[in-house]
A and B are shown apart, each in its own frame.
Chain A
């Protein structure tokens, strides 16, 4: 007879935590319905009427707006999922009990990011399927895959922004803060309305916003961007550093209070 292994395999921990995290999110309609249905709804209002119109650059406006709301959807999963999710969890003091178990904090965090990615993917599948069925927008598979990969890779600063909000705000304030941060960012970056239709000062401000470069990264994949992907990625990388620093700072503050 052999002795039982001294610790559980990390893969099993990650799988179990990811599954639980997925169930938790699904059972928060405020999160699941909002992140999955809102992009479809917004696209219906803002994007569908413009299918068939073309931009000055010759791209189909409906497709541009579909890409916009795809970016909006992924960003929302990240900012709201981590911002509100982590804040609520801190409110319930879930972290204290888990900390006393053999679950390493890194695996715990990894499960959250994984679930964020899965949710983002699900939101994109629903949005693209809807656009194809109702708007007749059929992008080549390679382009679709390109958009999805860009949105997932480029979402790192938004993941970090979510964590920064989640570790700073209380459970009641977090939804308001996430909205107040994310909605104006998305709006001012030309995601709801084309940049040309925004007030002049917003147009001047837009190129400094993380969501602007995030949208540009996606628009570039369908030939409607204003900057090369390398520039978008550089901006997003810079913002990732800033937001990760903020998140780490807030996380360390929390650690000091609870676990030192």
Chain B
């Protein structure tokens, strides 16, 4: 069976910068794949190349075994893109009606509107929508063609917590129908909550491609922050399961994938701890430690 999406040695060069520096990836039917990486890692470029919006400088891209610009391939896709818009003077229903006409076997307009939770806003002009409603409209437009594969580029940007939860539920329901989902995000929690496979991209290369559990173990996703005595001997912080240690005066910051193990060890060693804080690490920060490992291409 042909893969839904296939990249082979794809490079994409913008001027002097390699946005993608040799990416090979196959996504099979029914997979839910999250492409995770910090800003500027190449996630959006990867989606653009898969959709045929950008042509790779080198390498091969296939969508349902076809060139991604082929209408037959695009008729089976839906996409939610970051840098895009729709005419503000059309109503929500009118834009949906227009997009449905692009596809051979579209979903009924009412179904699309319901899936995106836009029932109340169907007669409203696009220009009057709030940021969150606008995201839902883009989601609706991605669904118009009853797609076999959905490409979602940073779909939850600008959504509040409640909207994000509803959205992720909707995506999960679509995935349960057997649709293939490819989404980009820079939230590890989001990738974890949705995907069964996480592809970590940084500096245009895939640095990890595994189920969420494995990825989480490898990415130092928590920051442990506490106050101790200024005279603390640095030696007591050695040998902990951390990827980075930062000290300034009495403040200590540790980056780790296993905060529980770190704390257990710190207490065992009798390190004086005050003002303890364990928080989700900034992904950018986490990636710095991942990519700084020796043997990694810069």
Contact = CB atoms under 8 A, between A and B. Distances in A.
Interface of A: 4-8, 12-13, 15-17, 19-20, 23-24, 27-28, 89, 92-94, 96-97, 99-104, 258-260
Nearest to A21: B87
Contacts of A24: 87, 89-90
Given A101-B99, A102-B75, A27 B89 contact: yes
Contacts of A7: 71-72, 75, 104
B89 A97 contact: no
Contact of A4 (B84, B87, B101, B104): B104
Contacts of A4: 104-105
Interface string B66-89: 000001101101010101111111
Contacts of B89: 23-24, 27-28
B251 to A, nearest CB: 44
A196 B201 CA distance: 71
Interface residues of B, number: 33
21 contacts: A5-B105, A7-B72, A16-B102, A23-B94, A24-B87, A24-B89, A94-B86, A96-B53, A96-B81, A96-B83, A96-B85, A97-B84, A97-B85, A100-B81, A101-B74, A101-B102, A102-B75, A103-B102, A104-B71, A259-B53, A259-B54
Contacts of A259: 53-55
Output the residue of B95, B103, B141 with the most chain A CB within 10 A.
Answer: B103
B97 interface: yes
B77 A20 contact: no
Contact of B88 (A5, A16, A92): A92
B44 to A, nearest CB: 11
B176 interface: no
Interface of B: 51, 53-55, 71-72, 74-75, 77, 79, 81, 83-90, 94-95, 97-99, 101-105, 138, 141, 145, 151
B124 to A, nearest CB: 14
B149 to A, nearest CB: 12
A175 B81 CA distance: 29
Output the residue of B51, B81, B88, B104 with the most chain A CB within 10 A.
Answer: B104
Contact of A17 (B71, B79, B98): B98
Given A93-B83, A100-B81, A102-B75, 4 more contacts: A6-B104, A20-B94, A93-B85, A96-B84
Contacts of B53: 96, 99-100, 258-259
